[in-house]
Chain A
């Protein structure tokens, strides 16, 4: 499907979604509350069939966090990008780890690096940071570590 067809199809599934076509792929902005129901449909719909979550990450915009999901279909080879704005004080979003299993690891990484709470994740705990890590999330923009300097 091309971007126009994807747009029509996804508007049918989620009337509240807004689109952004400035990038290479179709960007879809969704509310965190709508994400899980949309994700199930994106994965299971016969014409969309987004079975390959190839990148899951988060961006700290200081005023808010943005979750970014890059999805692809191994059957139709179309790509989309899903974005969801999270509250910086209490970032939480539903986990999609039961839909795309790769999210188990990727969400754990985002959890410790950005402090996003993934609801209903089967095993949400530290993956890269050492046990007993206290303090801020390292990938947040306000993170400073005078001992182990990361910034130059």
Chain B
């Protein structure tokens, strides 16, 4: 649906007043408690105002009274689809401050877990986004494969969603004996399934018409709104933290940073689909090469970060997550700030949506991949 206000009978209506509608906070297309106040003229969007805070738990304030071992667990609840990666960012920040050397085995396992999380997150996004724009079947396909990842996680970490598997210095426990076998089975299966996804949705002409040219975000605007992750890479911005500022063992594996130059919803869609294939590539390189050794470095029982400031960033499934710790030398952080990718990506929504049709808004929200607890924190 391209915005062509002259020819469309539902376009800009002369003399018609503005219509204000509320989407959410309880709405199936927002996938969480996001409240959008939309100003419409006819079918054309004049303004989108997000109202946040419906799931604000004040995690930053809460972390000020939690120790460096405790606060990591709260962060699983921010971007619950990238729980491992959130934990990774926090663990890295504490390790940087304490100068803890993480054993090679733990680093490799962390990267495998992160990439499995990324696949699981993108799968959920793929199913949910296709459902938003009217295709119901992909949702079941995506959840069928995602279930396999959840099972792998459950075996090793004991939880399916908020894993809390990373601790400062390494991992909480060693891998389940079946881990490698199960992951290999999953990879073999998933490789076929990704191609099936392409057949089912990507090449579909109705789908392409719904996505192409919708929600244009230029490269300059993507940087100015500090968008990151697939939302920015769809506009051709080099922003993959795994490539730019490698952490763990990302500098030792081969993978491509996916860039698309379409700047529209289809480009952002393609980035995620192609990213899943890169994640498989990373896991394949590592799964047979997990080094033997400790899964956790020896650390003091009570962690105290030296006085100073520490900032780490990682690439979650949604983009750049920054953890900024200001320490006064105590056992708890003095101030902690989570630079969440969703918050910045959402800020670009108003700019993207202006002038397009109301029906296209779900395609834009879908391809921004908003996770509301991550935005509100």
Tell me the A107-148 residues at the B interface (CB within 8 Å): 109, 127-130, 138-139, 143
Residue in chain A with minimal CB distance to B239: A74
Tell me if B322 and A55 are in contact (CB < 8 A): yes
Interface flags for B309-347 (1: CB within 8 Å of A; 0: not) read 111010000001010101000000011010100011011
Q: Mark B344-360, 1 if CB is under 8 A from A, else 0.
A: 10111001000000000
- Measured in the bound complex, the distance between the Cα atoms of B238 and A151 in whole Å is 39
Is A102 a contact partner of B225 (Cβ separation < 8 A)? yes
Contacts of A150 in B (CB 8 A): 58, 61-62, 65
| Residue among B60, B309, B320, B348 making CB contact with A54, cutoff 8 Å | B320
Contact A127 B324 (CB under 8 A): no
User: Any chain A CB within 8 A of the CB of B264?
Assistant: no
Q: In whole angstroms, how far apart are the Cα atoms of A52 and B227 in the complex?
A: 9
Closest to B376 in A: A128
Alpha-carbon gap, A97 to B324, bound state (A): 21
> Which residues of B lie under 8 Å from residue A52 when comparing CB positions?
223, 226
Do A102 and B56 touch across chains, with their CB atoms under 8 A apart? no
Q: Which of B285-325 contact A (CB under 8 A)?
A: 308-311, 313, 320, 322, 324
- Chain A residues 42-92 with CB under 8 Å of chain B are 51-55, 57, 59-60, 68, 70, 74, 77
Per the 8 Å Cβ criterion, residues 1-54 of A in contact with B are 22-25, 51-54
- Contact partners of A105 in chain B: CB under 8 A: 343-344, 346-347
**Residues of B contacting A139 with CB < 8 Å?**
60-61
**Closest B residue, CB atoms, query A123:** B49
Q: How far is the CA of A54 from the CA of B60 in the complex (A)?
A: 17
Q: Which residues of B contact A77 (CB under 8 A)?
A: 244
Bound CA–CA A124/B334 (angstroms): 27
Which chain B residue lies CB-closest to A23? B309
List residues of chain A with CB within 8 A of the CB of B260.
Answer: none
Residue of B64, B308, B347 contacting most chain A CB atoms (<10 Å):
B347
**How many angstroms from the CA of A151 to the CA of B313 in the assembled complex?**
26
Closest to A73 in B: B223
| Complex CA distance for A127 and B351, rounded to whole angstroms | 17
Chain A, interface residues (CB within 8 Å), range: 20 to 34
Rounded to whole angstroms, the CA-CA distance of A55 and B348 in the bound complex is 16
Closest CB-CB distance, A96 to chain B, in whole Å? Answer: 11
With beta carbons under 8 angstroms apart, the residue of A22, A24, A55, A100 that contacts B339 is A55
Once the chains are docked, how many angstroms separate the CA of A39 from the CA of B64? 30
Complex interface: chain A residues within 8 A of B376 (CB): 128
Alpha-carbon distance between A102 and B51 when the two chains are bound, in angstroms = 16
With contacts A51-B224, A52-B223 taken as known, whether A152 is within 8 angstroms of B347 at the C-beta atoms is no
- Residues from 216 to 248 in B contacting A, C-beta threshold 8 Å: 221, 223-226, 228, 237-239, 244
Tell me how far the C-beta of B264 lies from the nearest C-beta in chain A, rounded to whole angstroms.
19
Across-interface contacts of B228 in A (CB, < 8 A) = 54
Judging by beta carbons under 8 Å apart, are A51 and B223 in contact? yes
B344 to chain A, nearest CB (A): 5
Q: How far is the CA of A57 from the CA of B60 in the complex (A)?
A: 12
- Most A CB contacts (10 A, CB to CB) among B64, B311, B313 go to B311
Q: Are B324 and A55 in contact (CB under 8 A)?
A: yes
B213 at the interface (CB under 8 A from A): no
The reply to whether A22 and B344 form a contact with Cβ atoms under 8 Å apart is: no
Interface membership of B187, Cβ < 8 A? no
Contact yes or no, B339 A59, CB < 8 A: no
The listed residue (A51, A106, A128) touching B53 by CB distance below 8 A is A128
10 contacts between A and B (CB under 8 A): A59-B334, A70-B324, A100-B226, A101-B347, A127-B51, A127-B53, A128-B53, A138-B61, A139-B60, A152-B65
